[in-house]
Amino acid sequence: MPRSIADAVGVRFDPDFAGRAAVFVPLLDKEDAVSSLHGRFLVVRKGQNKMLTFGPGNGTINVLGGWKVEPFIIVEGLFDALSLAACGWPSIATIGRWASWLPEVADGRVVWVAFDATQSGEVDFAAYRERLSTATVRRLRPPPRCKDWNTALVKRGNTTVSRWLRDNIL
């Protein structure tokens, strides 16, 4: 992942947060104010959660303009959003949480929900389509045999992923 992208999003690294390496990123509200701090442990131990959030939530990770630019792409996780950014595509990451202001910023727009290519990704897509009822909500799946956008980037490379996105969005 290019450091410039991680820096622009505000990603920070702690080699020993509660005994494990972790990355942290601010969750922003629709005014770009920090609403919470989200962290993800880089080492997963049995019986311990891999993610943590400090604060009330109600924010997203905004990458390369996030929800303020077209196309408006919503992904699940930090690494998915960073992977799209490495391919030149903006997005927001919900980290599995709902931001109450999303219907307002999605109103009248085309919203691409690019959740994981899993059963839970399909369920979450259906929920977003219902909640974003004043938007045109479309499903955007990663390339075949890729569970998510980070897997796609690692397996296929940024040129192929960018072409996949262009061919499926434009």
Name which of 86, 87, 136, 95 is nearest 115 in CA terms. Answer: 95
pLDDT band at 70 (very low <50, low <70, confident <90, very high): very high
The Cα–Cα gap between 39 and 53 comes to 6
- The pLDDT score that the predictor gives to residue 18 is 82
- 2 vs 41, more confident: 41
Q: 10 Å Cβ neighbour count for 28? A: 22
The Cα–Cα gap between 139 and 106 comes to 15
Q: Delimit the domains of the chain by residue range.
A: 3-169
Give me the mean pLDDT over the 37-50 stretch: 85
Proportion of the chain above pLDDT 70, given as a percent? 100
- The pLDDT score that the predictor gives to residue 2 is 82
pTM of structure: 0.93
The Cα–Cα gap between 14 and 170 comes to 39
State pLDDT tens for residues 102-146: 999 999 999 999 999 999 999 999 999 999 999 999 999 999 999
- The pLDDT score that the predictor gives to residue 141 is 96
CATH class of 3-169: alpha beta
Give me the mean pLDDT over the 60-68 stretch: 94
Give me the mean pLDDT over the 26-41 stretch: 93
Give me the mean pLDDT over the 28-45 stretch: 91
